[in-house]
């Protein structure tokens, strides 16, 4: 705290606010990271042929097998050059295509992306991370600094607050009702059919207390805490279908999605899920000051529109 700032450049530090209990990662160099969103486009480090612009790759799917850091990959993983957590922050490049969003890829390509999510979650949990969170940002308004569609993997030494709170809710619900909170939600005990977007091995619905307009959650119909055990084609189909419907209904609004899966040393109940948050509005003082969301679209109305878009 007393050293000059330049001695901190590149060093990352995890800090917890003792009053709010919320975590902050201090990443002094992150403000200097390159961006091509909204600016003239420099060479894209995620396009085939530009592999030398990224740190050496951590993983890739190549068919036929070829040397690392050469073109010919289908999905490529590289450490984040401007990492929030040393060793535990990676970028998963969805495909060689600079412009194709998930819903513009083939289902086989999306299944590859899902399989890579599973592989990297497994890698980091095996390496001793407490929790692994996979996220995707689309659009500058959703925090994306590079246009080439990609996801990010964050392996953390502690439970992120959100996951911690979810684990508490799962435990509380089971203690009270002897059942899995998410199984109940998926089975529609309190929300379906008016909140259902589509059914299947992975179900999509708009939560009754959505925090974002057109927010969609995906979870397996069969109880499963660990995303690594999911059938990749089922997840791919659901993710593709949900993102297609959201893109149609929101005219391609910026969005984030994130995966919550079981952390290491899971002792209580959990059920993996993906939360998709279109970003039609900006978080403002009320949301930041209270942690209470303002939803501008009724989730039942959102479900009606998304159901129609997913069907057509
Ligand atoms: Zn690119
Ligand atoms: Zn469950
Ligand atoms: Zn969650």
The pLDDT tens digits along the chain (312 residues) read: 333 333 333 457 788 888 888 888 777 765 566 666 655 567 999 999 999 999 999 999 998 888 999 999 999 999 987 665 656 899 999 999 999 999 999 999 999 999 999 999 999 999 999 999 999 999 888 888 889 999 999 999 999 999 999 999 999 999 999 999 999 999 875 556 899 999 999 999 999 999 999 999 999 999 999 999 999 999 999 999 999 999 999 999 999 999 999 999 999 999 999 999 999 988 888 888 998 888 889 999 999 999 999 987
C-alpha pair distances (Å), 19 with each of 12, 15, 16, 22, 23: 22, 12, 9, 8, 11
One domain, residues 7 and 51 = no
63 shares a domain with 25 = no
- Full residue range of the structural domain in which residue 275 is found: 42-311
Cβ atoms 25, 12 nearer than 8 A: yes
Tell me: cis bond preceding 303? Omega within 30 of 0 counts. no
pLDDT score, position 86: 55
Q: Ligand 3 centre and the CA of 274: distance in Å?
A: 7
Looking at the domain assignment, is residue 222 inside a domain?
yes
Residues 175 and 76 in one domain: yes
Measured CA to CA, the distance from residue 47 to residue 32 in angstroms comes to 21
Ligand index nearest the alpha carbon of residue 170? 2
pLDDT of residue 27: 74
Cα separation, 298 vs 107, whole angstroms: 30
First to last CA, the chain: 57
Cα(127)–Cα(130) distance, integer angstroms: 9
Surrounding residues of ion ligand 2, Cβ less than 5 A? 180, 182-183, 223, 271
User: Which residue intervals of 195-298 are DSSP H helices?
Assistant: 232-249, 285-290
Measured in Å, residue 259 CA sits from the centre of ligand 1 at: 24
Angle, vertex CA 129, rays to CA 125 and CA 130, nearest 5: 100
Residues 4 and 107 placed together within one structural domain of the fold: no
What 8-state DSSP symbol labels residue 13?
Answer: E
Question: What is the Cα–Cα distance from 27 to 9, expressed in whole angstroms?
Answer: 8
Nearest to 216 by CA among 303, 282, 117: 303
pLDDT of residue 14: 81
Q: Check which CATH number belongs to the domain holding 91 and give it.
A: 3.30.428.10
Give strand ranges (E) for 146-209: 150-156, 196-198, 202-205
The rounded distance, in Å, linking the Cα atoms of 67 and 260 is 33
92 shares a domain with 8: no
Least Cα distance to 239 among 98, 149, 110 occurs for 110
Instruction: Report the separation in Å between the CA atom of 34 and the middle of ligand 2, taken as the mean of its atom positions.
Output: 41
- Please give the Cα distance from 41 to 259 (Å, whole number): 30
Rounded to the nearest angstrom, the distance between the alpha carbon of 171 and the centre of ligand 2 is 12
Q: How much distance in Å is there from the Cα of 279 to the middle of ligand 3?
A: 17
Q: Please tell me the distance from the alpha carbon of residue 174 to that of residue 178, in angstroms, as a whole number.
A: 4
Specify if 3 maps to a domain: yes
Spell out the residues 6+ positions from residue 250 whose beta carbon is closer than 8 angstroms to its own. 213, 214, 278, 280
CA dihedral 25, 29, 32, 38 (to 10 degrees): -20
Distance 239 CA to ligand 2 centre (A): 19
pTM, two decimals, is: 0.90
| Residue 70 belongs to a domain | yes
Rounded distance from Cα 51 to ligand 1 centre (Å): 11
User: Whose atoms come closest to the Cα of 271: which ligand?
Assistant: 2
Residue 169 is assigned to a structural domain of this protein: yes
d(CA 91, CA 18): 31
The ligand minimizing its distance to the Cα of 91 is 1
Ligand 1 centroid–CA 69 distance in Å is: 15
Q: Are residues 18 and 64 in the same domain?
A: no
Say what the pLDDT of residue 6 is. Answer: 34
User: Which ligand is the nearest neighbour of the Cα of 150?
Assistant: 1
Instruction: Using the mean position of ligand 1's atoms as its centre, give its distance from the Cα of residue 42 in Å.
Output: 10
- 118, 164: one domain: yes
Residue 188 CA to ligand 2 centre (angstroms): 12
Looking at residue 179, its pLDDT comes to 96
- Residues 140, 240 within the same domain: yes
Q: Which helix (H) or strand (E) covers residue 82, if one does?
A: none
Instruction: Determine the pLDDT at residue 40.
Output: 56
So what's the pLDDT on residue 18?
81
Domain membership of residue 100 (yes or no) is yes
Q: How many domains does the chain have?
A: 2
Q: Is 210 a domain residue?
A: yes
CA distance 289 to 285: 6
pLDDT tens digits, 242-268: 999 999 999 999 999 999 999 999 999
Same domain, 86 and 193: yes
Residue from 84, 87, 91 nearest 29 by CA = 84
Residue 112 lies in a domain: yes
Q: Is residue 37 part of a domain?
A: no
Centre of ligand 1 to C-alpha 272, Å, is 30
Tell me, yes or no, whether 17 and 111 share the same domain.
no
User: What confidence tens digit (pLDDT) does each residue in 188-233 have?
Assistant: 755 568 999 999 999 999 999 999 999 999 999 999 999 999 999 9
Do 15 and 150 sit in the same domain of this protein? no
Does 147 lie in the same domain as 10? no
Of 53, 41, 108, residue with least CA distance to 78: 53
């Amino acid at each position: 705290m007393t050293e000059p700032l330049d001695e901190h450049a590149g060093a990352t530090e995890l800090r917890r606010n003792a009053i709010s209990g919320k975590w902050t990662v201090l990443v002094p160099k992150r403000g200097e990271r390159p961006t091509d969103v909204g600016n003239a486009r420099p060479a894209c480090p995620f396009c085939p042929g530009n592999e030398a612009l990224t740190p050496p790759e951590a993983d890739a799917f190549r068919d036929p097998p070829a040397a690392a850091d050469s073109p010919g990959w289908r999905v490529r993983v590289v450490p984040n050059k401007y990492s929030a957590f040393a060793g535990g922050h990676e970028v998963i490049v969805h495909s060689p295509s600079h412009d194709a969003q998930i819903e513009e890829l083939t289902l086989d390509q999306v299944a590859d992306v899902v399989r890579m999510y599973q592989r990297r979650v497994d890698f980091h949990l095996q390496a001793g991370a407490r929790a692994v969170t996979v996220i995707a940002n689309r659009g500058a308004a959703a925090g994306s600094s590079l246009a080439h569609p990609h996801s990010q993997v964050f392996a953390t030494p502690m439970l992120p607050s959100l996951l911690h709170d979810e684990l508490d809710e799962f435990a509380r619900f089971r203690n009270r009702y002897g059942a899995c909170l998410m199984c109940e939600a998926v089975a529609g005990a309190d929300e379906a059919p008016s909140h259902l977007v589509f059914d299947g091995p992975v179900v999509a619905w708009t939560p009754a207390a959505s925090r974002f307009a057109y927010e969609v959650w995906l979870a397996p119909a069969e109880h499963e805490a660990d995303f690594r055990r999911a059938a990749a084609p089922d997840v791919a189909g659901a993710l593709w279908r949900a993102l297609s419907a959201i893109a149609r209904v929101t005219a391609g609004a910026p969005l984030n999605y994130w995966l919550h899966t079981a952390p290491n040393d899971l002792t209580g109940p959990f059920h993996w899920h993906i939360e998709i948050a279109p970003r039609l509005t900006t978080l403002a003082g009320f949301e930041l000051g209270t942690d209470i969301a303002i939803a501008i679209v009724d989730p039942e109305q959102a479900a009606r529109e998304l159901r129609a878009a997913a069907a057509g």
